Amino acid sequence: MAFPEDPLGLRAELRIGGTWVDVTKRAYTRDPIRTVAGMSAQGTGVDPASLSLTLNNKDGHFSPRNALSPNYGKLGRNTPVRISVPGGETYLSLDGAPGARAVTAGTGLPAGSTDLDLRVELAPETWSPTDATELLSRWDPAPGRSWVLVVQAKTGRLQVNWSPNGTDSSGAVSPALELQPGERAAVRVTLDVDNGSGSHVITWYKAPTLAGQWTQLGSPTVRSGTTSTYASSTPLSIGDIPTTSWIGMPGRVHGAEIRAGIGGPVAAKVDWATATPGAPSHTDATGRVWALEGDAKITTQEPIGVGEIASWPSRWAPSGQDAWVPVEGAGILRRMQQGRKALNSTLRRRIPSGVPVAYWPMEEGDSATQAYSPVPRCAPLVAPGLDWASADTLPGSSPLPTITAGSTLKASVPAYPASTSWQLEFVYFRAVEPTLLMPILELATGVSPWPRLSVRIGPGGGVTIMGTSADGESSSALLTGGSGPVAGQWNRFRLTLTQDGTLVRISVLILPIGGSGGVWNQSFTGTVGPLRGISGSYTSVLEGTAIGHLSVFSSTGVQVMDYADHGYNRETAGARALRLAAEEGVQLAVVGDPADSALMGPQRPQTLVELLHECAEADGGILMERPDALGLVYRTRTSLYNQSPKLVLPYGAIAPSLEPVEDDQAVRNDVTASRRGGGSGRAVVETGPLSVLPSEQGGVGIYDESVELNLADDSQAQPMASWLAHLGTVDEARYPSIKINLHKHPELIPAALRLRIGDLVRLTGLPLWVGESTTDLHVMQIQHEPRPRAWTVTLVCTPASPYRVGVVGDHVYGRVDTSGTVLAAPVTEDATAWPITVTAGRDWITTAESPSDFPFDVKAGGEVATCTAITGQAEDDFTGRTTSNGWGPAPSGQPWTLLGGVPGDYAVSGGVGQHSMTPRDTIRHTLAAASAADQDLRFDWALSALPVGDSAYIFPMVRATGISSMYFGRVQVAASGAMTLTLRKRSGSETQLGTAYATGLTYTPGTWYTVRLAVTGSTLNLRIWPRGTPEPTAWHLSAVDTDLTAPGSVGCRSLLGGAATNASLIASFDNVHCTPQQMTVARAVNGIRKSHGPGVDVRLAHPTIVAL
């Protein structure tokens, strides 16, 4: 039996004292257990995730102040809570608690001189844990050491240690794994104990699963000397080793392998997907029995909500018969939003990571007289007279002070361990070049023989480092440099001294921030001593010079200011979100490629949540919370494009009542997007049902919006405004509530559990009153309400169509829509031929020119049809067939109708259609039906000989309803070869329309010409030109006539004059093409089938949308 026949297996847990405690039996079912993640139906941004349940508290277990409770002192604010349900795949659950592991006997495992191949597949809560965590091991206290594989703390790398004798230890560290928090992956390390060249080699790999395909990480590590692994009796363990300082890994393990030799025979192989949920042990494929210890579990549980409980409100009945605690848990965003402290500037945050021995940011307020140092034991920098907080244009810094005439500066560098090198670095800004070479800093050092160093800047970007003896009696210019003016920009100044034998190497770097600079190097005989003090005394020459972030390091090569100096300008939104989260110790995963997200401007001081939201706003992505752990997920905009459905919902699986809403909540048709501190762009939607036009003109009026975004460049503003206007004018319904009763449709449970915010859901089989039978939506909120025998999921969704964007070369998403096309004639609900008129832009592709581009879907009047072919109204190139006694069927679908002469006068041969024009004085017609009244016919023609004794005639025909009702053009070829055009009609009798046109052309037998006759409304136009030459831009003849208005056939007509003496004359025709074009369609793809009138708009059902 399974759910719903059996109870769901719902589990509620609290993390008490570091261990997950099952409190499911204490959860009241009278109140629903509910988890919510994402954005509400009325929201404009993702809300903090939440969960709620009511706990039975009759015994006071959940009263934090109850000293008799076993939980006394353990139920604090922000106690973790987790709600889970049974999922699909079975796995080994390790919660990180001490002793949580699976163990098996260590017998039969590779050791000694046998190479080692370790593999494990897992999904940890994070790949960069706060503390190092064990994965796979045979490692006990000495002398029981063999080998151990761990995840290093905070680095995102693996580490393997092994012992050749059970006591000593060797180790190696992997390259960065570059895996997201919670991401499932397989990792592998091989140890070649003897590579045959007197060395041992460690190689690292990763793969999606243990089945591969394995990707090598970096280059193998080759170390001199051979090695071995100790054959200890220590068991094989997955998870925490109780006897080490490492901790257990919180997360899931899916499998592990140990092989004897690299790629060698399997010595141990466990696949937890084959284990029995709830069992205390499992026998693997090699016969090993794995026993569970501590809190390790074999389970299928899938978390649907994880949060923190901020309060424990006790409630009770007056009778005392009942007491309960209504628990409200929230995701990590709630706590993060509680704090309002802005993060420091990027330089202030970054420089301490380089472990300076002294550092003064100098970001104090405008009334300061000294600068604080975040370095322990480093006294403040005293600087009376500086104009504090007056320079605020450095992207990577809060406002810095500027030098004034008479101001001074003095700071002491704390004593630090002896070093043979040091580095001084700071930022500065000059509006104009100084007129003299002046000291900006004076340094007191232990350098011999020049303990007093003067850092001087001068005109043209010049720099000099002057050395002065201790007694002040002698001095020397130790270094001079300069590569041109540096005024008007922020610069970094770096001075380094390094001992090199008896020489001191001195170097200066001046680097324009955000650019490239120059380096100058010199040396002198002497000894490097410590930097002890920094001072400055200023005249008016350096007035207005900004200075800050004065840093001292006890070694050289420290580059912590890189990128931080310009606030990480032009960093992608995904990369910034990852960096910020890592710096603040917050677990954050990115869905999508971080590199494929918007370029951002400088990071300025704001709260962490504000900065993360700033990333999402600049990129157009979604910041949300993990459902399985306390952490965040950033979903890039591009990850929302062109998705396949994660959940397909038939209408019958949707619980009542489905109520799509068509309102103006999200309408924005006039959008201005501004770059913070820069330019702007504006997009106004001027056509369409949600345009700025007033309602009486088919729009909705103006819905304007202005947004400021932290973009890297002004050129991003206009595309962003256009994208936001595109999102704000989607003419589709939103769905504020889609309910699914999973207890009635358990087949949907696996897909429902995989669903995440931003995923695509497809609704199918919708009734007509909802709209189209199929609609694609993006999930904006997921709400679970599980009970023992019932489980409801409610989704809040918005249209997914605006994220269906163009992909070059894609058969569906690589098509550019028509600029304007309408039906040229009415079509019935069963008609499979749709005549179309292009009102703007180029014609549609045809089957003849682009056969591989068919089929595709089009939309007209709400009906979606599949277009399988496009031809002219009549179209024939006569290829691929040979016929006699007629022309057979045209590729456009119609049969050619013959009028005049006998069937033997008509044939298709040699890739052309033919009329035999003898006997003379007989008019021959080949006609193809066309449904549109406006017709534009062209064809190529040729004569096998000149007529003798009379003329020959070629006629293009339009609106022909019989031999006595038509418009036609007449091309007269005289016996001399002279060619004359006339426009004519037959309406009973034949009438010439207008005057004749002498073409000036002389016909030569076998020469091909193209003739074109067009009728639009009451206007007729005619022209002729040699085939293969440019078509004339002007019509040769034009006329207006209102007699014949109904649609009719089009075709080719010929006549040899009665006085001609030719024994034989053949008229050949080719490339017959009549527009408007005609689509061959399969109807009612979306369940809608109806008739359509002329002028109904026809477009691609899935047109290319240019992505942002």
Question: What tens digit of pLDDT does each residue of 554-563 get?
Answer: 999 999 999 9
Strand ranges in 906-946 using DSSP code E only, listed in sequence order: 906-909, 912-916, 924-928, 935-943
Q: What's the whole-number mean pLDDT along residues 396-400? A: 97
Alpha-carbon separation of residue 575 from 588, 599, 1003 (angstroms)? 11, 10, 72
Residue 574: pLDDT over 90? yes
Taking a C-beta distance cutoff of 8 angstroms, is the pair 301, 251 a contact? Answer: no
CATH of region 641-662+732-804: 2.40.30
Tokens of 41: 């139906």
Task: Give the pLDDT confidence of 978-1014 residue by residue, as tens digits.
Answer: 999 999 999 989 999 999 999 999 999 999 999 999 9
The residue with greater pLDDT, 582 or 274, is: 274
> How far is residue 142's CA from residue 139's CA, in Å, rounded to a whole number?
9
What's the confidence (pLDDT) of residue 773? 86
- Report pLDDT for 573: 97
Mean pLDDT of 432-441: 90
Q: 98-294: what fold?
A: Jelly Rolls (2.60.120)
Domain 346-566 fold is Jelly Rolls (2.60.120)
SS3 assignment, position 232? coil
pLDDT for residue 1077: 86
Q: Which tokens hold the place of 480?
A: 């001079």
> Quick one: pLDDT at residue 931?
83
Residue 248 banded pLDDT, cuts 50, 70, 90? confident
Domain with CATH 2.40.30 in the chain: 11-88+306-338, 641-662+732-804
State the pLDDT confidence band at 964, using cuts at 50, 70 and 90: very high
How is 50-95 classified by DSSP, letter by letter? EEEEEEE-TT-TT-TT-TTSTTTTT--TTEEEEEEEEEEEEEEEEE
Quickly state the pLDDT bin for 283 (edges 50, 70, 90): very high
CB distance 86 to 31 below 8 Å: no
Contact 148, 157 (CB under 8 A): no
Q: What percent of the chain has pLDDT over 70?
A: 99
For the ranges 466-475, 605-614, 615-624, 1094-1103, which has the lowest average pLDDT?
1094-1103
Q: How far apart are CA 1094 and CA 934, in angstroms?
A: 11
Split at pLDDT 50, 70, 90, the class of 1060 is: very high
Mean pLDDT of 855-871: 92
Q: Mean pLDDT of all residues in the chain?
A: 93
Q: Residue 44 above 60 pLDDT?
A: no
Give ranges for CATH 2.60.120.200 in the chain: 98-294, 346-566
| Amino acid at residue number 67 | A
- CA–CA gap between residue 955 and residue 904 (Å, rounded): 20
Long-range pairs for 312-319: beta carbons < 8 A, 24 or more residues apart: 312/62, 312/63, 312/64, 312/75, 314/57, 314/62, 314/63, 315/57, 316/57
Q: Evaluate the CA torsion angle 928, 933, 935, 941 in order and state its sign.
A: positive
Quote helix, strand, coil % in the chain, to nearest 5: 10, 45, 45
Q: Which residues pair with 536 in a beta bridge?
A: 409
Return the DSSP state at 128.
S
pLDDT value at 728 more than 60: yes
Does pLDDT of 1107 surpass 90? no
Q: What amino acid occupies position 398? A: S
CATH of range 11-88+306-338; options 3.40.1440, 2.40.30, 3.30.70, 2.60.120:
2.40.30
End-to-end CA distance of the chain: 50
Report the candidate in 969, 966, 1048, 1069 with the shortest Cα–Cα distance to residue 1013: 969
The pLDDT assigned to 845 comes to: 87
The amino acid at 59:
D
Count of CB atoms situated within 10 Å of the CB of 93: 23
Give the mean model confidence (pLDDT) for residues 198-226.
96
- Give the pLDDT confidence of 537-554 residue by residue, as tens digits: 999 999 999 999 999 999
Residue 1023 has pLDDT above 90, yes or no: yes
pTM above 0.85, yes or no: no
For residue 586, the one-letter residue type is V
693, 699 Cβ separation under 8 angstroms: yes
pLDDT at 873: 82
Short-list 328, 327, 323, CA closest to 59: 323
Q: Which residues pair with 955 in a beta bridge?
A: 1053
Mean pLDDT of 751-778: 91
pLDDT of the residue at 164: 96
Q: Compute the residue count for the chain.
A: 1108
Report how far residue 204's alpha carbon sits from residue 221's, in angstroms, rounded to the nearest whole number. 9
Q: What is the pLDDT of residue 824?
A: 85
Give the confidence band of 1 by pLDDT, cuts at 50, 70, 90: low
Position 849 scores a pLDDT of 78
Beta bridge partners of 493: 426, 510
Local structure of residue 1033 (DSSP, 8 states):
S
* Structural tokens at position 343: 């993060």
Structure letter (DSSP) for residue 700: -
The pLDDT assigned to 1015 comes to 95
The bridge status of strand 1037-1040 relative to strand 1019-1026 is antiparallel
pLDDT the model gives residue 1046? 92
Decide yes or no: CATH 2.60.120.560 for domain 874-1075. Answer: yes
The per-residue b/e assignment along 766-798, b for 16 or more CB within 10 angstroms, e otherwise, is: beeebbbbbbbbbbbbbbbbbeeebbbbbbbbb
The answer, yes or no, to whether residue 46 has pLDDT greater than 80, is no
